[in-house]
Structure 1
Amino acid sequence: MKIILIVIGCFGVAFAEVAKFEKCYGWSDDICKVAEVRINPCKNKNFCVLKKGQQSSIEFDFTPMFNAQRLTSSLFWASPTGDLPFDKFTDVDACLYSTCPTVSGTQQQLSYSLRLDKFIPNGIYTLKWRLWDAEDESKECCFKTNVKIR
């Protein structure tokens, strides 16, 4: 009986990290498909709670429908007045966080860890993540997810 409870508890922790996400406006699965987004820590899939000054991570599975030698990535706050880039993750070499080169139709994963600065205001934010072929921005993956920062 103890083993069953431990196994159920482990599954609960694993599933708690899966975050709700949506495709970016105008983005097509014909170019790139995001299968799953995982945020750690995350206990509420509608918006994961991230604490300032503590380590957090985001990881997602994606299948590019294009070959690329190099990938570039950026993280934004999708604010009502327009996308505001996170200065520590703008136009970065995504090959540091994922496998390069990409092979069309092959699923892969991008993993990124961060520590949120304490000066970020508390609130609920929609994060927008873009990942694209460094030589052709039309070949892109893009998704949005909500987080609560406190």
Structure 2
Amino acid sequence: MWARAILFIAFSVTVANSEYVRKKICKDVDSSLCVVHSVIVDPCRQGPSFCLIRPDKSYGMTINMTPKFSASKLKLAVYGDVAQDDSYSVMFRPPKDACDYLFCPMQAEERKLFDMNFSVDKRANGKFPLKVKLWNEEDESQACCFTFTVKAK
């Protein structure tokens, strides 16, 4: 009985702290190659317009998407446009093997739901967009990419 109550409270606290965020598809990718259904950041009490992010703290992200391409090797990276000049020059998560988060090979038209962690470092300050990009290592034009706003403090 107590175990159920504790589990319910823990689940309620987790759900209360996470939030869907308003995402935009990246300008530099073919938007017909991927549908990003939803993005949840945990914790993100200020959502959906932005998430308050503390430097060097780990945040969880759940991405729900349907790629329109197949790939056996995938890369995933997180960039920040700290200067707000559309350069996304600050790399918060260097390109890594995305098969650690997804089952590979990835099939076209197969809806995927995956979790990842990210953090921003002390170079980040103020409100700026974060860019999350997942791409086919063998053909970089095949990508799923979106941005959402964070405020680093």
Q: Tell me, yes or no, if the aligned pair for 1:99 and 1:108 is still in contact at 8 Å.
A: no
Aligned to 1:112: 116
> Is residue 84 of structure 1 aligned with residue 99 of structure 2?
no
Cα gap change, 1:14 to 1:64, in 2 (>3 Å): farther
Q: Distance in 2 between matches of 1:132 and 1:121?
A: 25
Q: CA deviation at 1:77?
A: 1.1
> Is residue 145 of structure 1 aligned with residue 148 of structure 2?
yes
Cα gap change, 1:97 to 1:135, in 2 (>3 Å): same
Structure 1's unaligned 5+ residue stretches are 1-5
> Is residue 93 of structure 1 aligned with residue 110 of structure 2?
no
Aligned to 1:20: 22
Aligned AA (1:89): R
RMSD over aligned Cα atoms: 2.6
In the TM superposition, structure 1's runs of 4+ consecutive aligned residues that sit over 6 Å from their partners are: none
Answer with 14-23 or 42-51: which moved more. 14-23
Q: Distance in 2 between matches of 1:71 and 1:30?
A: 18
Q: Distance in 1 between matches of 2:16 and 2:33?
A: 29
Aligned to 2:5: none
1:112 aligns to what SS in structure 2? strand
Q: CA deviation at 1:12?
A: 10
Q: Distance in 2 between matches of 1:33 and 1:81?
A: 22
Structure 2's unaligned 5+ residue stretches are 1-7
Cα gap change, 1:30 to 1:133, in 2 (>3 Å): same
Q: CA deviation at 1:121?
A: 3.8
1:43-86: CA deviation from partner (whole Å, max 9, x where unpaired) = 22100111224321122111111111111112111331512142
Aligned to 1:3: none
1:66 aligns to what SS in structure 2? coil
Q: How many residues align?
A: 143
2:44 aligns to what SS in structure 1? coil
Q: Distance in 1 between matches of 2:124 and 2:17?
A: 28
